[in-house]
Amino acid sequence: MTSSPSANPEHRVSTGERINIQRRGGRLQKQLAARGIRLTHQRRVLLQVMETARRHLDAGGLLRRARRMHPGITRVTVYRTIDLLKRHGLIDELDLLHLRGDRHFYESHGPRDHIHVACLRCGRVREFESRLYEKLKEQIAKDCGIRITITRTEVGGYCAACQD
Q: Which spans of this chain sit near a second copy (rule: CB under 8 A)?
A: 1-2, 83, 86, 93, 95, 97-98, 102, 104, 115, 117, 119-120, 126, 128, 130, 132-133, 135-137, 139-141, 143-160, 163
DSSP H/E element including 79: helix 75-87
3-state secondary structure of 81: helix
- How far, in Å, CA of 59 to CA of 64, rounded? 9
Local structure of residue 102 (DSSP, 8 states): S
Closest distance between a second copy and the C-beta of residue 19, in Å?
30
CB-nearer residue toward a second copy: 17 or 138:
138
CB-nearer residue toward DNA: 11 or 126:
11
- Dihedrals phi, psi of 162, to nearest 5 degrees: -105, 10
Q: Give the one entry of a second copy, DNA, none that residue 15 binds, where binding means its C-beta sits below a cut-off of 5 to 8 angstroms depending on kind.
A: DNA
Q: Give the one entry of a second copy, DNA, none that residue 52 binds, where binding means its C-beta sits below a cut-off of 5 to 8 angstroms depending on kind.
A: none
- How far, in Å, CA of 10 to CA of 7, rounded? 9
